[in-house]
């Protein structure tokens, strides 16, 4: 019963025009706005101390066959990124930055991340296998200028906001970076997962737990395993769907849509029937998109 079960609303299918981004990379590196929140500092610390371990978690089958399949579907609902200029916010070690350029045909991709350790990993991989990617080490909430990009992508960024105002700061930044007609897509903690507590996901190599399910700002913990070894633990925060919808409206976006997890053909064919059921049923992570009109 593991099947593609995407649910989305207000899905746009037309491509937007491609802006030239000749100075975007250089311009972006000089943009700074305000200071950093405590939750941002915490995220920096967590990733600096666990950057390699987190990177290793990205090769687990649920990542490659479910998370990435969902991202590919999300981007295709937005018209794809082929020939487009993209900013990958919270790029981490450049996992999606590389994929957007190499496998999805983006013309330019700029990766931005808060963690020097993560950016170092990204740059090492760019040096070993140059793809023409640029990276900057910066709090995404401090970027403040339209940089001529077509699409802002962010995997697991907004879930670092621990309250409405922090979320608004990030979403407003994204809105301001985009031109009219620009598109935003992300994958992250699902606002529909009110339970937020999924020890049953251990069979896939991770667990999501929360001591205050459904409470605004509650800490969500992701524990990643290799075999029986716990390799890394990451904190995110729960904010409700209504908070997300309100914040996107306050920032200026006219709509917000949600995309459920889906499983790739390889994932469906390569595992026993029903293997992905607990993951799909948990609805622990989802895609979100928004358009700037």
Ligand X SMILES: C[S@@+](CC[C@H](N)C(=O)[O-])C[C@H]1O[C@@H](n2cnc3c(N)ncnc32)[C@H](O)[C@@H]1O
State the chain's maximal CA–CA distance in angstroms. Answer: 51
Q: Nearer Cβ to ligand X, position 61 or 181?
A: 61
CB of 14 to ligand X, least distance (A): 27
Binders of ligand X in range 15-44 (CB under 6 A)? 40, 43-44
- Residue pair 216/240 in contact (Cβ under 8 Å)? The answer is yes
Q: Nearer Cβ to ligand X, position 58 or 223?
A: 58
How far does Cα 4 stand from its chain's mean position?
20
Q: Which of 155, 171, 239, 280 binds ligand X (CB under 6 A)?
A: 155
Q: Does 90 bind ligand X (CB under 6 A)?
A: yes
Q: Does 126 bind ligand X (CB under 6 A)?
A: no
Site residue total, ligand X (CB under 6 A): 22
Q: Which of 2, 6, 19, 47 binds ligand X (CB under 6 A)?
A: 47
DSSP symbol at 210: E
- Residue pair 198/220 in contact (Cβ under 8 Å)? The answer is no
Q: Distance (Å, rounded) from C-alpha 229 to C-alpha 207?
A: 13
- Residue pair 123/158 in contact (Cβ under 8 Å)? The answer is no
Q: For residue 155, what is the enclosing H or E element?
A: strand 151-155
Q: For residue 257, what is the enclosing H or E element?
A: strand 255-259
Q: Which of 62, 135, 160, 253 binds ligand X (CB under 6 A)?
A: 160
Q: Does 110 bind ligand X (CB under 6 A)?
A: no
Q: Does 87 bind ligand X (CB under 6 A)?
A: no
CB of 3 to ligand X, least distance (A): 24
- H helix intervals, 108-163: 116-128
Q: Does 253 bind ligand X (CB under 6 A)?
A: no
Chain residues that interact with ligand X, rule: CB under 6 A? 40, 43-44, 47, 58, 90-92, 95-96, 112-115, 118, 139-141, 155-157, 160
């Amino acid at each position: 019963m593991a099947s593609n079960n995407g649910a989305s609303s207000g899905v746009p299918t037309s491509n937007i025009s491609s802006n030239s981004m000749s100075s975007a990379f250089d311009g972006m590196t000089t943009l700074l706005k305000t200071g950093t929140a405590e939750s941002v500092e915490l995220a920096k610390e967590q990733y600096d101390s666990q950057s390699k371990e987190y990177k290793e978690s990205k090769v687990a089958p649920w990542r490659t066959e479910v998370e990435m399949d969902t991202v590919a579907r999300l981007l295709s609902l937005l018209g794809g990124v082929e020939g487009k200029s993209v900013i990958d916010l919270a790029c981490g070690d450049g996992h999606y930055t590389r994929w957007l350029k190499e496998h999805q045909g983006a013309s330019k991709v700029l990766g931005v991340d808060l963690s020097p350790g993560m950016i170092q990993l990204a740059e090492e991989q760019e040096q070993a296998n140059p793809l023409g990617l640029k990276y900057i080490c910066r709090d995404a909430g401090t970027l403040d200028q339209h940089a001529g990009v077509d699409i802002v992508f962010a995997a697991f960024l907004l879930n670092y906001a621990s309250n409405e105002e922090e979320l608004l700061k990030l979403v407003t930044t994204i809105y301001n970076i985009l031109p009219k007609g620009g598109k935003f897509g992300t994958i992250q903690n699902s606002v529909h997962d009110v339970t937020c507590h999924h020890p049953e996901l251990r069979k896939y190599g991770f667990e999501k737990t929360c001591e205050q399910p459904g409470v605004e700002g509650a800490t969500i913990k992701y524990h990643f395993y290799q075999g029986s070894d716990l390799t890394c633990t990451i904190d995110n925060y729960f904010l409700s769907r209504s908070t997300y919808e309100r914040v996107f409206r306050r920032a200026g976006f006219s709509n917000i849509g949600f995309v459920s997890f889906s499983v790739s053909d390889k994932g469906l064919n390569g595992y026993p029937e029903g293997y992905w059921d607990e993951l799909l049923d948990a609805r622990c992570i989802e895609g979100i998109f928004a358009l700037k009109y």
